């Protein structure tokens, strides 16, 4: 039997050594030098309003900020903290006493979010007061927590590394239901953030499947497969659905490593279209396009109706770009492993502005709120940039 903790470390180390998100065989390969970034003619004026060191370094964990009407919540290492959106003032900081591995999430109705949720590598699901940072409840789950859904109608779902999805009472932390999927011997260290679509919670799994369950009672609604394990090495056979999944109306968009990018009919639970693709960042979407970065570092715009490509931008190959964030209808914002924040015209795929941020780089995409983005880097540097 393969030791899961060892293989996760092996996969993470391979990604870091490759410098481009691709996997190599048994012989170590020398990283290919990064090509210099092209100079750009700035056509969008951006301004860094504030920048703070939060001490919530996340390393390789993909821990997203959560934003409500007044506050940015971040987590990493062993602490969670809250920062005022307008000026970056520290509001509170809570030491958890163990490594935070998942979060941050809150209410689906962000305006009324009175709680935030985080998870730890020891398997503790934790709810804190959004106002004070005080711990409200702790519930021990089956293994390390990797992602957390928004809460709604008294429920919140936690995804653990052993392939289980746990439905908890958001009020008390009581475990209400549990579902599981088969977990491969090898997988990436991460999990897609479950999303809420009407009464359903939808999430991806390490076996290449996306599944929907009733948030209230855990009853399965449907599941679809985006990938089947193929390839000559175990690393080639990793097929995780680790990145962002996105719904628009009755359509769901998702993608897997070494698998597909697909449009799924949410009512029928069946694929409307699928194309071969490989990414660990997932998909962002609006009515006019799907936006993603593949495991080589190419950034794509794809038609949501049929999956046909509109453009591909290769300037960030081996920079390990994050998933593109949507800033309004016409801009994409992308972080990279060198600490750059790139602004891209969504229609043309051309750079229009660039900022510097956390020199340790970015593993999660910036969060957009109004005319501001909030970007948290691997060293815990949080930046607010307006356009």
What pLDDT is stored for residue 230 in this prediction? 56
Range of the domain at 133: 4-386
Lowest pLDDT segment from 143-147, 182-186, 234-238, 383-387? 234-238
Separation CA 306–CA 230 (nearest Å):
25
Specify the pLDDT at position 11: 38
What is the average per-residue pLDDT within 61-81?
A: 95
Closest of 229, 228, 195, 230 to residue 213, by C-alpha: 195
Per-residue confidence (pLDDT) for residue 6, from 0 to 100: 33
Smallest CA-to-CA distance from 189 within 380, 371, 10 is with 10
Q: Number of structural domains, the chain?
A: 1
Q: What is the pLDDT of residue 192?
A: 87
Residue 112 pLDDT > 80? no
For position 378, which CATH number holds? 2.130.10.10
- Where residue 55 falls (left for φ over 0; alpha for ψ -120 to 50; beta otherwise) is left
Average of pLDDT values for 90-105?
97
CA distances from 240 to 227, 229, 255, 279, 324 (A): 8, 10, 9, 9, 19
The DSSP secondary structure of 281-327, one letter per residue, reads SB-EEETTEEEEE-TTS-EEEE-TTT--EEEEE-TTTTS---PPEEE
Residue 67 has pLDDT above 90, yes or no: yes
Burial class (CB in 10 A: 0-12, 13-18, 19+), 130: buried
Residue 9 DSSP label: H
Tokens of residue 286, six digits: 């609006």
Mean pLDDT taken over the chain:
88
Q: What pLDDT score was predicted for residue 229? A: 53
pLDDT band at residue 10, thresholds of 50, 70 and 90? very low
Name the pairing type of β-strands 246-248 and 220-225: unpaired
| Model confidence pLDDT, tens digit, residues 131-165 | 999 999 999 999 999 999 999 999 999 999 999 99
Percent of the chain with pLDDT over 90: 74
- Identify the residue whose tokens are 């293989």: 7
Task: Note if the bond before 192 is cis, omega within 30 degrees.
Answer: no
Residue whose token pair is 């081996």:
318
| Tens of pLDDT, residues 35-56 | 899 889 899 999 999 999 998 8
The pTM score is 0.88
- Residue 2 confidence (pLDDT): 36
Report pLDDT digits (tens) over 177-193.
999 988 755 445 567 89
Q: What is the CB neighbour count within 10 angstroms for residue 189?
A: 20
């Amino acid at each position: 039997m393969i030791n899961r903790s060892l293989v996760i470390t092996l996969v993470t180390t391979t990604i870091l050594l490759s410098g481009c998100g691709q996997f190599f065989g048994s012989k170590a390969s020398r990283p290919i030098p990064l090509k210099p970034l092209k100079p750009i003619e700035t056509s969008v004026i951006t301004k860094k309003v504030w920048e703070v060191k939060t001490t919530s370094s996340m390393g390789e964990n993909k821990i997203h900020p959560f934003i409500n009407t007044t506050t940015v919540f971040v987590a990493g290492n062993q602490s969670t903290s809250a920062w005022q959106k307008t000026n970056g003032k520290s509001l509170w900081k809570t030491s958890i006493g163990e490594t935070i591995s998942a979060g941050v999430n809150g209410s689906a109705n962000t305006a009324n979010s009175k709680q935030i949720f985080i998870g730890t590598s020891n398997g503790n699901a934790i709810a804190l007061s959004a106002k004070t940072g005080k711990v409200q409840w702790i519930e021990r789950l089956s293994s390390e927590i990797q992602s957390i859904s928004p809460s709604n109608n008294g429920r919140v779902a936690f995804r653990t590394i052993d392939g289980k999805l746990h439905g908890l009472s958001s009020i008390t932390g009581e475990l209400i239901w549990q579902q599981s999927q088969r977990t491969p011997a090898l997988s990436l260290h991460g999990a897609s953030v479950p999303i809420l679509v009407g009464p359903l919670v939808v999430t991806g799994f390490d076996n290449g499947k996306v599944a929907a369950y009733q948030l209230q009672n855990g009853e399965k609604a449907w599941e679809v497969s985006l990938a089947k394990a193929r390839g000559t090495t175990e690393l080639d056979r990793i097929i995780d659905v680790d990145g962002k999944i996105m719904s628009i109306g009755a359509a769901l968009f998702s993608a897997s490593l070494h698998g597909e990018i697909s449009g799924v009919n949410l009512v029928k639970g069946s694929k409307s279209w699928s194309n071969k693709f490989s990414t660990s960042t997932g998909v962002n979407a609006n009515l006019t396009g799907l936006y993603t970065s593949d495991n080589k570092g190419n950034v794509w715009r794809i038609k949501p109706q049929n999956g046909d490509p509109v453009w591909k931008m290769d300037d960030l190959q081996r920079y390990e770009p994050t998933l593109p964030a949507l800033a309004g209808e016409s801009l994409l914002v992308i972080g990279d492993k060198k600490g750059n924040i790139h602004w891209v015209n969504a229609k043309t795929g051309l750079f229009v502005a660039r900022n510097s941020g956390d020199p340790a780089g970015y593993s999660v995409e910036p969060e957009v709120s109004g005319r501001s983005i909030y970007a948290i880097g691997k060293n815990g540097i949080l930046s607010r940039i307006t356009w």
